[in-house]
Amino acid sequence: MKFFEGRPLLLTAMLVSITVHVHAQSRVPETDTQNWNDVLFSIPMSKRVDFALQGTLRIGDNITTPVDERWGLGWVIKVNKYLTFTPNYFHREARPPHTRLEHEDRVTLGAVVQKSIGKFTLSDRNWVEHRWRIPQIDAWRYRNRVRLEHPFKVNKTNLTWFVSNEVFYDWSFHDWVRNRAAVGAMHTFNKHFTGELYYMRQNDGRTRPGDIHIIGTVMRFRL
Annotate 133-192 with three-state secondary structure.
EECCCCEEEEEEEEEEEEEEEECCEEEEEEEEEEEEEECCCCEEEEEEEEEEEEEEEECC
Which SS3 state, helix, strand or coil, does residue 110 take? strand
Question: How far is Cα 146 from Cα 159, in angstroms, rounded to an integer?
Answer: 20
What is the structure's pLDDT at 29?
A: 85
Considering the entire predicted model, what is its pTM? 0.85
What is the structure's pLDDT at 6?
A: 53
In terms of residues, how long is the chain?
223
Question: How far is Cα 146 from Cα 125, in angstroms, rounded to an integer?
Answer: 6
**DSSP state at residue 3:** G
Question: How far is Cα 3 from Cα 11, in angstroms, rounded to an integer?
Answer: 10
What is the structure's pLDDT at 118?
A: 94
The domain 30-222: what is its CATH number? Answer: 2.40.160
Q: Taking the domains of the chain in order of start, what are their residue ranges?
A: 30-222
What is the structure's pLDDT at 97?
A: 73
What is the structure's pLDDT at 221?
A: 98
Nearest CA-CA partner of 113 in 86, 142, 92: 86
The strand ranges marked E within the chain are 31-44, 49-60, 65-78, 83-85, 88-94, 102-117, 120-134, 139-154, 157-170, 175-190, 193-204, 211-222
Q: Which residues of the chain have pLDDT under 50?
A: 3-4, 9-25
